Amino acid sequence: MATVLVLGGGVGGVVAANVLRRRLGREHRIVLVDREARHSLAASFLWVMNGSRRPAQVSRPLASLRRKGIEVVLGEVERIEKERREATVAGKPIAAEQLIVALGADFRPDTVEGLEETGQTFCTLDGATRLRDALAEIRSGRIAVLTAAPAY
Ligand SMILES: Cc1cc2nc3c(=O)[nH]c(=O)nc-3n(C[C@H](O)[C@H](O)[C@H](O)COP(=O)(O)OP(=O)(O)OC[C@H]3O[C@@H](n4cnc5c(N)ncnc54)[C@H](O)[C@@H]3O)c2cc1C
């Protein structure tokens, strides 16, 4: 019996966990970890921004993966011991035979001076929701659309 530990319940982690669950026998465990309780589809954030979807329509509870036989652990991944194939989640170690790291990229507006205080973004679900509200308030003026140097 093997345990596959998938760190990250974004697109990469959820797809990996689903594919492995279909291919591996039920004697093998698949454990998926994320800090967020809901999985959101970023491609739909633009619809949230323009008001044609509500946030709840573009996200699903990760807990629904449990019905398929995928164990879901909610918590912060604090440490990864690559050699031992072990991760510390919310202070507790989880050991595995196989480790998939799919923690994505962090959004860091604070690395561009002034952006965090004055800018809006549609790159996160919260950001797209705030931008929807901000756009609804605009009556006149100009909007500057910018992309910071892509660091990914
Ligand atoms: C507006 C927008 C539109 C897009 N449109 C498209 C598109 O049309 N087609 C396309 O292919 N791609 C699109 N993308 C890009 C696509 O969303 C990303 O490439 C994809 O989400 C990356 O998947 P991932 O699993 O690597 O990371 P993510 O989806 O970012 O998942 C990472 C997960 O790890 C979790 N996590 C991170 N750190 C920790 C930690 N320390 N502890 C616990 N959990 C943690 C996060 O909560 C998150 O759930 C779009 C992106 C945006 C922002």
Per-residue burial over 96-133, b = 16 or more CB atoms within 10 Å of its CB, e = otherwise: beebbebbeeeeebeeeeeeeeeebbbeebebbbebbe
Q: Where are the alpha helices (DSSP H) in the chain?
A: 11-23, 45-49, 115-118, 125-137
Amino acid 150: pLDDT: 65
Residue range 1-54, pLDDT digits in tens: 999 999 999 999 999 999 999 999 999 999 999 999 999 999 999 999 999 999
Q: Tell me, yes or no, whether 10 lies in a domain.
A: yes
Nearest to 59 by CA among 133, 130, 134, 128: 128
Label residue 108 by pLDDT band (50, 70, 90): confident
Classify residue 108: in a domain, yes or no. Answer: no
Look at 82 and 65; give whichever has higher pLDDT.
Answer: 65
What is the pLDDT, as a whole number, of residue 152? 52
Tell me the residue range of the domain where 57 lies.
Answer: 3-101
**Cβ-based neighbours of 56, under 8 Å, separated by 6 or more:** none
Average pLDDT score over the chain: 94
What is the total count of domains within the chain? 1
Q: Which residues line ligand 1 (CB under 6 A)?
A: 8-13, 34-36, 42-43, 45-46, 76-77, 102-104, 122-123
